[in-house]
């Protein structure tokens, strides 16, 4: 009984197509898992850092709440002045409610670890956590005498929970997720660049961090800040150039982790209790989105570039003889 060569070829091609599809699905799942993991850590560490701020210190909401309008509202609720301001031992109505915000941050921190693709209500709660970070960033902006870069540079932190939700709901390689990450990167680096380049008054601790960390004088620190500020804007533009965006995102990730680490490096000391970790370490932790979001973009774009190169190489190679072709030739020779 002779075997039909065309049938053999069709079966071989079908099996090969199934194997290629399975491998593609497996590779896509592994890529999505790694990218989602990066964004999950970004949101988790951001909430961990701000949870510590609320627990150990106090949220920066005083500038929004210590106003006549707030007291008028409390008075309308029947809260007296003594109850409103307290006795100085954090027992006032305002301090109590600010301290309770800590638990909202604890909840958001847990959600960044437990949320999954099917967790609709957890995703909604995480978006609420992004709202908390927006209010916090607005309070920092008002506290900085309404300097716009102060609000802008918190963009990565504000959007970190949103990015995690988008990555789970739409996919880590989805265009909406990527564009949101680009917006977060631009906000963070443009805000930092406005201060570093001197368009807004450069915060004194910028100079202090560079001087203490690198052991340089003011003039050198000032030159370095102006240079890095210019590079911040170069990065914001370079991520739109396909040939440069991987390198730009990689630089942003490295620069982000260095600027985050500069806080504890400059502030911690062996002479302090716990080496000052309780006072400065959270400053690096809550800035995790500043380097993890660029890292996500660098990994995503690098893999996309590698995939395009691999496809180009496949098209350039001459088609190799398949097992079905060999079987067909053998049958014809023995027929």
Task: Return d(Cα 195, Cα 203) in angstroms, integer.
Answer: 7
Q: What confidence category does residue 296 fall into, taking pLDDT thresholds of 50, 70 and 90?
A: very high
* 246: its two tokens: 């991987």
Assess contact for 253 and 239: CB atoms under 8 A: no
3-state SS string over 150-163?
A: HHHCCHHHHHHHHH
> What does the alpha-carbon distance between residue 196 and residue 14 come to, in Å, rounded to a whole number?
59
pLDDT in tens, 175-194: 999 999 999 999 999 999 99
Tell me if 97 sits within 8 A of 58, measured CB to CB. Answer: no
- Residue 278's pLDDT is 86
What gap in Å lies between CA 112 and CA 168, rounded to an integer?
Answer: 11
- What does the chain come to in residues? 335
Task: Judge whether residue 321 has pLDDT over 60.
Answer: no
Q: pLDDT band for 335, please (50, 70, 90 cuts).
A: very low
**Each residue's pLDDT tens digit, 139-154:** 999 999 999 999 999 9
Quote the pTM value: 0.83
* DSSP code at position 43: H
The pLDDT assigned to 135 comes to: 96
pLDDT in tens, 1-52: 455 566 665 666 666 555 554 444 455 566 789 999 999 999 999 999 999 9
Closest CA relative to residue 289, chosen from 24, 21, 40, 8: 40
How does DSSP assign 218-231, residue by residue?
HHHHHHHHHHHHHH
What the block records as the tokens of 208 is: 């202090």
Beta strands in 187-319 (DSSP E): none
pLDDT tens-digit map of 55-105:
998 889 888 877 777 777 777 878 777 777 776 666 677 778 888 899 999
Report the b/e string of 193-222 with b at 16+ CB within 10 A: bbbbbeeeebeeebbebbbebeeeeeeebb
Q: Which residues contact 191 (CB under 8 A, 6 or more apart)?
A: 149, 150, 151, 152, 153, 154, 155
Residue 153 and residue 133 in contact, taking contact as beta carbons nearer than 8 Å: no
Q: Identify whether the C-beta of residue 58 lies closer than 8 Å to the C-beta of residue 50.
A: no
CA diameter of the chain: 105
Q: In 3-state terms, what secondary structure has residue 17? A: helix
Q: Are 288 and 154 in contact (CB under 8 A)?
A: no
| Contact in structure between 284 and 258 (CB atoms under 8 Å) | no
Higher per-residue pLDDT: 287 or 306: 287
C-alpha triplet 252, 257, 262: angle, nearest 5°:
125
Question: Within 10 Å of residue 77's Cβ, how many Cβ atoms?
Answer: 9
Domain regions of the chain by residue span:
5-334
């Amino acid at each position: 009984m002779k075997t039909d060569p065309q049938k053999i070829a069709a079966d071989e091609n079908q099996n090969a197509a199934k194997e290629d599809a399975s491998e593609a699905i497996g590779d896509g799942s592994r890529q999505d898992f790694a990218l989602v993991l990066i964004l999950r850590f970004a949101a988790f560490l951001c909430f961990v850092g701000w949870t510590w701020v609320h627990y150990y210190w106090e949220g920066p909401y005083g500038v929004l709440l210590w106003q006549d309008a707030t007291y008028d509202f409390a008075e309308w609720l029947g809260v007296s002045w003594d109850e409103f301001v307290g006795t100085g031992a954090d027992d006032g109505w305002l301090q109590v409610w600010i301290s309770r915000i800590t638990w909202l941050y604890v909840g958001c921190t847990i959600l960044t670890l437990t949320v999954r693709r099917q967790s609709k209500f957890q995703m909604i709660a995480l978006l609420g956590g992004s709202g908390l970070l927006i209010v916090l960033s607005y309070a920092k902006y008002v506290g900085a005498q309404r300097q716009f870069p102060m609000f802008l540079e918190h963009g990565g932190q504000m959007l970190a929970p949103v990015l995690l939700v988008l990555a789970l709901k739409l996919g880590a390689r989805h265009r909406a997720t990527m564009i949101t990450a680009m917006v977060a990167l631009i906000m963070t680096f443009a805000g930092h660049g406005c201060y570093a380049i001197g368009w807004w008054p450069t915060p004194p601790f910028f100079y202090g961090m560079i001087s203490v960390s690198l052991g340089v004088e003011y003039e050198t620190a000032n030159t370095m800040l102006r240079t890095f500020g210019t590079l911040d804007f170069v990065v914001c533009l370079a991520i739109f150039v396909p040939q440069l965006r991987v390198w730009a995102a990689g630089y942003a990730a490295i620069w982000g982790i260095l600027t985050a680490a500069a806080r504890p490096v400059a502030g911690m000391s062996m002479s302090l209790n716990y080496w000052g970790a309780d006072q400065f370490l959270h400053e690096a932790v809550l800035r995790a989105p500043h380097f993890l979001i660029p890292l996500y973009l660098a990994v995503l774009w690098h893999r996309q570039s590698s995939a395009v190169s691999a496809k180009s190489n496949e098209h350039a190679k001459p088609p190799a003889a398949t097992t079905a072709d060999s079987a067909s030739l053998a049958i014809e020779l023995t027929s």
